[in-house]
Amino acid sequence: MVYDQRRAYRQLRDRKCVTCWSDKLTTVNSPCDLWSTVDHLIGRGRRACDGLSADDLSTLFAEKVERIRSTTSDSTPRRFVLRRVTFTEFASLSSHDVAAAIARLPDNSNAADPIALPVLEVVSDVLTPFLTHLFNRSLSISCVPASFKDSFVTPSLKKSGLDEASPSCYRLIARTCRSFPRRCNV
């Protein structure tokens, strides 16, 4: 039942996409207009925060952190005990686990992903044995590559209608590499 509904939805979506793009191709005035539409759809071009610099946003959030620290400075500091952790509870991943996890990834990519999802899906049969070994090795030595911990920060307007020139009207969205965490969550 659910699969039939999902299939019907995908078929409807595909038909609407074909109709939409066919209409765009027949009504477009110039190739420049068509490329402008494509750029808009994939998020290139003018962004809401074009008037702000990274320094403006950095200053805003540094001030916000400082305000929080100053209001909590008289509280009792937390004590953390550092322990060497090993991942002995994790079962080894199989090639099938990794291939299934790749197949379950959502249909979008972000700049932190080392390989775009459409490319990964095409070459997954070649990369799966290597990725399986890499992930199992990372789990066994309790270490992941530093690049998996990096993120790309994208400012997003909190609500439409807010002042686009004010850094305080933005929420920062951190996009991390999905390679290891998602694939280990099988």
Co-location of 3 and 86 in the same domain:
no
Q: Are strands 151-157 and 170-176 parallel, antiparallel or unpaired?
A: antiparallel
Averaged pLDDT for residues 11-38: 75
3-state SS, residue 153: strand
Co-location of 122 and 38 in the same domain:
no
Q: List the single range of 22-26, 31-35, 177-181 with lowest mean pLDDT.
A: 177-181
Query: What is the distance between the alpha carbons of residues 94 and 136, in angstroms, rounded to a whole number?
Result: 9
3-state SS, residue 173: strand
Co-location of 76 and 109 in the same domain:
yes
3-state SS, residue 151: strand
Contacts of residue 53, defined as CB under 8 A and 6 or more positions apart, other chains included, come to: none
Contacts of residue 25, defined as CB under 8 A and 6 or more positions apart, other chains included, come to: 34
Co-location of 39 and 81 in the same domain:
no
Final residue belonging to a domain, choices 13, 29, 45: 45
Q: Are 167 and 60 in contact (CB under 8 A)?
A: yes
- What CA dihedral angle connects 10, 16, 21 and 23, to 10 degrees? 170
pLDDT band at 45 (very low <50, low <70, confident <90, very high): low
Q: Tell whether the model's pLDDT for residue 76 goes beyond 70.
A: yes
Q: List the domain range (segments joined by +) for residue 138.
A: 48-184
Co-location of 67 and 140 in the same domain:
yes
| Number of residues that make up the chain | 186
Q: Are 174 and 161 in contact (CB under 8 A)?
A: no
> Tens digit of pLDDT for each residue in 79-115?
877 776 665 667 788 889 888 888 888 776 666 666 7
Return the pLDDT at 3.
Answer: 80
Query: Number of structural domains, the chain?
Result: 2
Co-location of 105 and 141 in the same domain:
yes
Phi, psi torsion values for 2, nearest 5 degrees: -65, -40
Co-location of 66 and 136 in the same domain:
yes
Co-location of 53 and 143 in the same domain:
yes
Co-location of 155 and 143 in the same domain:
yes
Q: Are 119 and 161 in contact (CB under 8 A)?
A: no
Co-location of 39 and 52 in the same domain:
no
Short-list 174, 178, 120, 172, CA closest to 147 = 178
Q: Are 57 and 167 in contact (CB under 8 A)?
A: yes
> Tens digit of pLDDT for each residue in 145-186?
776 677 777 777 788 788 878 888 888 777 666 555 444 444
- The rounded percent of the chain whose pLDDT value lies above 90 is 0
